[in-house]
Chains A and B, each alone.
Chain A
Amino acid sequence: MTTDIPAKSPEAAAVPPPGAAPVKQPAKQGHQRLLTRRDRLTLGLMAGLPTILHVTLVWVTALASILLAFTTWDGIGFDTIKWVGFDNFKELFTNNPQFWPAVEHNVVWFVVLILIPTPLGLFLAVQLDKKIRFSRVYQTAFFLPVVLSMAVIGFVWQLVYNPDTGLINSVIGANEPGKYIDWIGDPDLNLWAVLIAASWRHTGYLMILYLAGLKGVDPALREASALDGANEWQTFKNVIFPTLRPTNTIVLVVTIIEALRAFDLVFVFNKGAEGTELLSILITNNIIGESSRIGYGSAIAVVLLVISLAVIIPYLVATFRKERRA
């Protein structure tokens, strides 16, 4: 930074004042003045503070939890931390009956979000883009769930799915002995029940993203394809959708993040009981709360970190490669 600014500013100072001939001398002084103590302090603060915050809040904590993953610790006093090597991971991979289901559910979460809300959000966006009447009203209605917090959504849907008094079972008469449908407790059903709630929210989110993308499509492209005699579907498939590529990338990233950080909805819904275990919930159950198996919980967190990196690194590599080519 310090080398950048003095290199540029003499030019900048030299260009605008047209009548000022003896510019060179003051410019050199300005060069030095740029690095007064106050400026250095400012720059130091500007660069230093965010760096300190970032390092302490992101890197130090991440590294600490990686280190803790190889220990056992009950969270009380630092002298109780004990090094155990790979024991936590061994325990996790071989003995924890909830771990593999949790990994599987995170994957299912991602696949479902890609298969259902993504096309649905795109479909809604395309419809809303057609300047139909009341489009603002529909837009608001579909976007509303995104405004609600996940915890509220979990609470609302939990009322809908309640086996005794919930909306669904009351309407279809499945709240009597012998006919129960246990949407919340049955491991064959509850993940799908939660995913409907998650998709309900995610659709609105993706709709807005796609709508923004569609507004950016050059109208000339539509005209051109209309002149070429393409019908609506052909126009969309061959002209509009390819121009939405940047939006698709964002949607993919957003959906991956959503699948990995899925937590609040399920935690409120049924605390991650059998059928809805998620990595994030296992971490919380082990670390937070009275249990305080901090080393073990950190090991699960490290697994989640590795999965995240496995997804993010190829994406970043691809992006950088593209930039270099450009």
Chain B
Amino acid sequence: MSLTPSGLSLPGPSRRTLLRGAGGAVALGAGIPLLSACGGSGSSASDSKTVTVGSNSSDAVPKKAFADIYAAFGKKSGLTVDVNTKDHNTFQEQINSYLQGTPDDVFHWFAGYRMQFFAAKGLATPVDDVWQKIDGNFPDAMKKLSKGEDGKYYFVPLYTYPWALFYRKSVFQEKGYEVPTTWDQLMALCKQMKKDGLVPIAFGDKDAWPAMGTFDQINFRANGYDFHVELMAGKASWTDAKVRKVFDLWSELLPYHQEGAVGRTWQDAAQTLVSKKAGMYLLGTFVGQQFTNEADREDLDFFAFPEIDPAYGQDTVEAPTDGFMLSKAKKNHSGSVKLLEYLGTPEAEEIYLKSDPNVVAASTKADTSSYSALQKKAYEMISGAKSLTQFMDRDSRPDFTSTVMQPALQKFIRDPKGVDSVLTSIERQKKTIFASE
């Protein structure tokens, strides 16, 4: 075409632009594998001097705490830790594709069913060799939490925290309230608080998980730890009279909860406790993050959820435990093992706790002398527990808790009278989900 002498120059440039367009398309095509590669990172760091860690600690405080641990580890071992931090929720949501792609050597995760699930799927490497070194540092309850279904260790715990009812000491003193230890006392206290113009129990369930905490507490107080396990594993029925009893008790307590809970975040609910408008708040110790003023923080205290059935007393504590796992595609095995061994020492835990005073060490060897009063109490509560639970969404299938339980509990909170239809619906959906093993 360019040979025609008549100046038919148009096709030339237009073809060039088209080619450029084609080039763009090629680049676009090349972008697809690139995008999928974004899931993992640190592919450049495959030398034996570096261990990569996938982290979900995107908040400033824990992020700094972990950085301190890795710095201390680096000094000790001469290895560099390359941390790949992702937003907490994003990390959790992408965990499936992350672990199947090119995961980091070591990654942050939770104890319990959620850990066992990935272990059973072959997406994690057993760490029995690590536990030979760190075995003495942990109590039996923690060892149980760190094992997969096959009896091998897959998890190294770092810290834990209990769920409990939080309150302001000054408010209880001023109004002459006493810490309730039985259900009847709790109900009486709620009535009194309401009379005194307080919101008895602060509550925010916009994120849909806090209500699970309330369910867990009432459930294992009324029906015991074993039933909690059976129910979470999909074995017990949700239409069982025992479950119905939990919801009946909850319906009794619900009028004393803060109104409009489904539209409120847990942070906003915590603010009502900070501002002394609410009397109590059922949450994990991380509620302390909302107490930014030192004096307010000193004033914060908690007590275990009151006894419902004397046969079970207050023997179970909900204590979600966070720690580390070893991925299947680790590039630096010996380095990773060294890092995990270090993370299982009291030393590493103490460094972490220095920066994050809302949790306690998973190890019983860690130094408790620097603990705040709140941490000491949490530590006693956990070490004195007969059984530890993790939390509904850590003790059960995540697909069940996120797609069935979260909306169902929100529905119950809004309309406690419709509990029967909610429960039959949960049971029907549960059967399908747990059948698809």
The reply to whether B264 and A185 form a contact with Cβ atoms under 8 Å apart is: yes
A20 partner residues in chain B, CB cutoff 8 A: 5-6
Is B369 an interface position by the 8 A CB rule? no
Least CB distance, B44 to chain A, in whole angstroms: 27
Query: In the complex, which residues of chain A have a beta carbon less than 8 angstroms from the beta carbon of B95?
Result: 290
> Given A13-B8, A185-B206, A185-B414, are A289 and B259 also a contact pair (CB < 8 Å)?
no
Interface residues of A in 31-67 (CB under 8 A from B): 33-34, 42, 45-46, 49-50, 52-53
In the complex, whether A264 has a CB less than 8 A from a CB of chain B is: no
**Can you name 19 A-B residue pairings with CB atoms under 8 Å?**
A13-B8, A16-B7, A16-B8, A30-B4, A33-B1, A42-B22, A72-B436, A75-B100, A77-B121, A164-B268, A164-B271, A164-B272, A165-B268, A182-B260, A185-B262, A190-B263, A271-B206, A286-B403, A292-B399
Q: Which of B416-437 contact A (CB under 8 A)?
A: 425, 428-429, 432-433, 436
Residue from B4, B26, B261, B402 within 8 A of A13 (CB atoms): B4
Tell me, in angstroms, the Cα distance from A286 to B258 when the chains sit together.
30
Q: How many Å lie between the Cα of A96 and that of B432 in the bound state?
A: 11
Residues of B bordering A, CB below 8 Å: 1, 3-8, 15, 18-19, 21-22, 25-26, 28-29, 92-93, 95-97, 100, 114, 121, 123, 199, 205-208, 258-264, 268, 271-272, 398-399, 402-403, 407-408, 410-411, 414, 425, 428-429, 432-433, 436
Contact A98 B399 (CB under 8 A): no
**Residue among A17, A165, A177, A178 with max Cβ neighbours from chain B (10 Å):** A177
Q: CB of A119 within 8 A of chain B?
A: no
- Bound: A182/B415 CA distance, A: 14
Closest residue of A by beta carbon distance from B198: A177
Enumerate chain A interface residues (CB-CB to B < 8 A): 9, 12-13, 16-17, 20, 26, 30, 33-34, 42, 45-46, 49-50, 52-53, 72, 74-77, 82, 84, 87, 91, 95-98, 161-165, 177-178, 180-187, 190, 270-271, 273-274, 285-286, 288-293
Given A95-B425, A285-B403, A291-B403, CB of A186 within 8 Å of CB of B121: no
Name A182's contact: one of B123, B263, B399 (CB within 8 Å). Answer: B263
Residue from A74, A183, A186 with most neighbouring chain B CB atoms (10 Å): A74
Question: Given known contacts A75-B96, A186-B414, A273-B208, is B263 in contact with A46 (CB within 8 Å)?
Answer: no
A156 to chain B, nearest CB (A): 16
Closest A residue by C-beta to B258: A177
Cβ-defined contact, B3 with A30, below 8 A: yes
Q: A30-B1, A52-B29 are in contact. Are A182 and B432 (CB under 8 A)?
A: no
- B277 closest partner in A (C-beta): A177
Contacts of A95 in B (CB 8 A): 425, 428-429, 432
Instruction: Say whether A50 contacts B25, CB under 8 Å.
Output: yes
* Chain B residue nearest in CB terms to A292: B96
User: DSSP majority for the B interface?
Assistant: helix
Contact B262 A186 (CB under 8 A): yes
Asked if A53 and B25 sit within 8 Å, CB to CB, the answer is yes
Tell whether, in the assembled complex, residue A16 and residue B93 are in contact, meaning their CB atoms are under 8 Å apart: no
Question: With the chains together, A12 CA to B10 CA distance in Å?
Answer: 12
Contact present for A289 and B93 (CB under 8 Å): yes
Residues of B within 8 A of A178 (CB): 259
A163 lies within 8 A of B263 (CB): yes
Residues of A within 8 A of B7 (CB): 16
- Whether B29 lies near A290 (C-beta < 8 A) is no
**With A270-B206, A274-B411 in contact, is A186–B260 under 8 Å at CB?**
yes
